[in-house]
Amino acid sequence: MKKISVIEIAVIIFALTTLIIYCIPQLKKTDEKEILAQVKASNAVFTSKVIEEFAKNKNAKPSAVAQKITEELNTTEINPYDNDTELYVFNKNCNACSNVEYDDNLKMIILTTLDKKGALVARTVIKPPSYVTYYKENKDKKEQN
């Protein structure tokens, strides 16, 4: 039986270290993509419910619609950044949640999502019957509907 030499052990340690150094950032990128996908899905649900609510009642005030949808979705949607924190909050600058703002005069609702560090992840401006959404991954592109 052959013994393992010091050089072989050093090569194995070097190979494992290199693999670990490469894999950790890749795993982090995957987590960020998964969180962004969850944010997109949650914001899409919020947006569609707001548009639906305004379609049902054209005279509805954005403040009432935003309150109703926020209360409804906070019971079903999970915050992808922190399971113990509500996903939607009103008029607060909060990290790791979605801030809901409204303007009854302009008949508009703005949904802004920040990550844990306070960086902008997504922003949706809803002015029925249309909306514009920005996502971090496509900094120069905007989705319009």
Per-residue pLDDT tens over the stretch 63-90: 999 999 999 999 988 888 888 888 899 8
pLDDT at 145: 44
Q: Quote the pTM value.
A: 0.72
The sign of the dihedral angle between the CA atoms of 35, 38, 44, 50 is negative
Rounded mean pLDDT, 90-105: 86
Residue type, 92: K
DSSP E strands, the chain: 88-90, 97-103, 108-114, 120-127, 130-135, 143-144
pLDDT at 143: 43
Q: Is the N-terminal amide bond of 80 cis, ω within 30° of 0?
A: no
Reported as a pLDDT band with limits 50, 70 and 90, residue 26 is low
pLDDT at 53: 92
The sign of the dihedral angle between the CA atoms of 26, 31, 35, 40 is positive
Task: In whole angstroms, give the CA distance from residue 72 to residue 33.
Answer: 26
- Non-local CB neighbours of 42 within 8 Å, separated by 6+ positions: 73, 77, 80, 87, 98
Please, what is the average pLDDT of the chain? 83
Task: In whole angstroms, give the CA distance from residue 27 to residue 129.
Answer: 39
The answer to whether 41 touches 80, Cβ cutoff 8 Å, is no
| Tens digit of each residue's pLDDT (9 = 90 or more) over 102-143 | 999 999 999 998 888 888 888 899 998 888 988 887 654 444
* pLDDT at position 29 over 90: no
